[in-house]
Amino acid sequence: MRFSARHLLAFAVLAVPFAAGAKGDGCAAASKSDAPDVSGDWAIQYEDKIGVEVNLGGKVYTSELGPEGGTVTVDFNGKPLSFDLDCSRPEIVCPSEAWPDAVSIAQKSTEHEHQMIVTIPKQTCSEALVEPDPSTCGEGTPNPSCKKVCNGDITTTSADAFGVIGETGESFRLYLGAGAASNGLNCAMLDWSYADADLVTEDADSEDWRATGMENGTVTVAYAGGCLWVADPDPDPDLEAAVIGASVTFTVPFTGARK
């Protein structure tokens, strides 16, 4: 299977938020240079904690959760606000679900060896995407590019996600948040959701260049604050607007080994 110019453009667009120091250099999607063989089945091992970063009203709050998720509460201008990462919700994809503990990687293009494909949980919208309200998108919002958003239900199925092995073959990045765009209330993963890691390889100077391990890996899953907010029964409209414009990012470190 060879990728069209449309696929390569999608890689370039997705790479924009991660351009500075990104693993899996998005520009390598169109590269025709050699890349290590990463195809096959992998076992993923996670740390038993989830790092949490809440970006709200220009302030950043950090915390940790256990591996199954839970509720994190921050003090925003003297008011406690809680955000709930409930992994049992069908529309929520937790970090360990976005990049499961057993994954199968394919490199289907012999011309573009840096492109990789993994079948993982993928979010879709039950309705056609619509233009966002201009006041809810743009720089400093969860939708900086003003992408069309989903105003319907978010459903999760299995589908191919695309990733890029860096030009030097030392790392990769798999883009997770490309299925649907959030309207600030539904739980579509934000564009800066991804899995990446350094690659341990062998026989780099031969035709048998092969990846044998993944180190320093991180799964990053981000959502708009409104979709996770444990809402106040009598909310302040200004506070509600701030929460909807917030983002909540969850990260889990991992390593990987070939099965």
Spans of all domains in the chain: 5-258
- CA R_g for the chain: 19
Q: Which amino acid is at 10?
A: A
pLDDT score of 231: 83
Q: What is the mean pLDDT of residues 180-202?
A: 92
Please give the distance of CA 3 from its chain centroid, rounded to a whole number. Answer: 21
Distances (CA, A) of 31 to 115, 164, 213, 246: 9, 10, 22, 36
Widest CA span in the chain: 65
CB 14 within 8 A of CB 175: yes
pLDDT tens string 150-181: 999 999 988 888 999 999 999 999 999 877 88
Q: What is the mean pLDDT of residues 184-193?
A: 91
Q: What is the mean pLDDT of residues 82-91?
A: 90
Distances (CA, A) of 161 to 47, 157, 234: 23, 12, 40
CB 246 within 8 A of CB 228: no
Q: Is the pLDDT of residue 20 over 60?
A: no
CA torsion, ordered 163, 100, 62, 68, to nearest 10 deg: 170
Span between the terminal Cα atoms of the chain, in Å? 25
CB 127 within 8 A of CB 151: yes
Q: Is the pLDDT of residue 43 over 60?
A: yes
Question: Rounded distance, CA 40 to CA 91, Å?
Answer: 28
Question: Rounded distance, CA 198 to CA 31, Å?
Answer: 19
Mean pLDDT of the chain: 86
pLDDT score of 25: 64
Residue with the larger pLDDT of the pair 243 and 25: 243
Q: Tell me the whole-structure pTM to 2 decimals.
A: 0.84
